[in-house]
Amino acid sequence: MALDQLKASLSAAPGPIGGKGLRGRIRAPGDKSISHRALIFGALATGITEIEGLLEGADVLATAEAMRAFGATVEQLGGGRWRVTGRGGLSEPAQVIDCGNAGTGVRLIMGAAAGYAIAATFTGDASLRGRPMMRVLGPLGQMGAAWICREGGRLPLTLKGGGLAAIRYVLPVPSAQVKSAVLLAGLNAAGVTEVIEPEPTRDHTERMLRAFGAEVVVEDAADGRHIRLAGGQRLSGAAIRVPGDPSSAAFPLVAALITPGSEVTVEGVLLNPLRTGLFETLREMGADLVIENARDEGGEPVGDVTARHSALHGVEVPPERAPSMIDEYPILAVAAAFAEGRTAMRGLAEMRVKESDRLALMAAGLAACGVGVEEEPDALTVVGSVRGNHPVRGGARVTTHGDHRIAMAHLVLGLAAVEAVSVDEPGMIATSFPGFEGLMRGLGAQVG
């Protein structure tokens, strides 16, 4: 569905989602993280990269257009199938690179571009222009890249690459985006680039580097995970099948868990162990979640996940789990609202520098819907409604600041609330989940 169509249909009436007894089998959109990487790696490689199941959301489409600007031939073949013909590197773009709302896209592209003796100017929408880039620019600068930008390392910025030297870099905070940017720059740096992450983060970049023919060494040590990549390696085109995004699958699955009479199966979900923190947490809360047909596709584990309506209870979510589910805390907070007892989520400082301050927006949205919530600088505690004599009221129009996950989380909350919930900017859902409305309708939800 086109962005303007989605926006019009979801904003037409105050009650976006309602209905009982969700049932059906669906496939989640392609994983956004892997989709970005498939396009970027295809552009860096020599030869043809065939991609199946690419997420065709606004963020990924911005990355596809950026790769065209850097000299790759990028073709949309239909049905999630794309072809990228790379020329073994990036050429200097003639225009400004507009990454839209894609934080992953811009940070990874900057890392890749830093390895070439070119200048490129990056910008994005209002949300992306407000997000900090110094955590990527810092290590790229240590490698030899230069830039000029707004105060605080914010877009728009112009990056000048080339002549890089490898570094040994310890991630100050867990971030797959920063790790990936440094490794991509390291492909064209003199020497061996080493990234040390005290807490493991999603490893799609390491897996995809190998799929494109690069040698990456990963070792676990007492001080964390060490990833080493020798510069000067050349990538070759590959065949990539993008699995279903667990962050997107989380919305219909949690909707089933909190809506009486529901049973929903999402097929082909990515089950990378560094991305399944939400499923682990939901099971600890008592969720009836079953994984079947586990298999390997394109170097990544996938499976079919079934969720049935469940009696949930509150839990303490350990902070060390945050890197494996940082994008799923908004929908976890919704599940917690319908649980018995308190659910405490800690180690969430990274949520404040996502597409929005997700901690603040979730706290405000839940409170507006009648849910007990306590916000701390890096934590969120949700008081579940079960046996609390205060059913989730809903009925609010939630401010999202253009954040797609905040929007979807509150719309799912409206399924099981007493009153319907609406959001102020539903069109941003197409950033990561095009077709969200139609998919939910197909399961039995009412979209008004």
Tokens of 309: 């309506």
From the candidates 327, 357, 378, 403, give the one annotated as an active-site residue. Answer: 327
29 cis-preceded (ω within 30 degrees of 0):
no
Q: What angle do CA 342, 201, 216 make, to 5 degrees?
A: 165
- Contact call for residues 343 and 314 (beta carbons, < 8 A): yes
- CA nearest neighbour of 242 among 46, 53, 440: 53
- Count CB neighbours of 371 within 10 A: 26
Kindly state the DSSP code that residue 261 receives in the 8-state scheme. Answer: T
Helix (H) / strand (E) element for 201: namely none
Max distance between CA atoms of the chain, in angstroms, equals 65
Q: Which residue has the tokens 């929007």?
A: 407
288 is catalytic: no
Phi-psi region of 398 (alpha: psi -120 to 50; beta: other; left: phi over 0): beta
Within the chain, how many helices (H) and strands (E) appear? 14, 24
- Contact call for residues 187 and 200 (beta carbons, < 8 A): no
Contacts of 284 by beta carbon, 8 Å cutoff, 6+ apart: 315
Handedness of CA 316, 321, 325, 330 (dihedral sign): positive
Handedness of CA 337, 340, 344, 345 (dihedral sign): negative
What Cα–Cα distance (Å) separates residue 260 from each residue in 28, 279, 310? Answer: 22, 19, 8
| DSSP-based three-state secondary structure for 223 | coil
The rounded distance, in Å, linking the Cα atoms of 357 and 334 is 17
Runs of H (alpha helix) within 11-159: 32-44, 58-69, 103-113, 126-129, 134-143
Position 212: which residue type?
F
Kindly state the DSSP code that residue 10 receives in the 8-state scheme. Answer: H
The catalytic residues are: 327
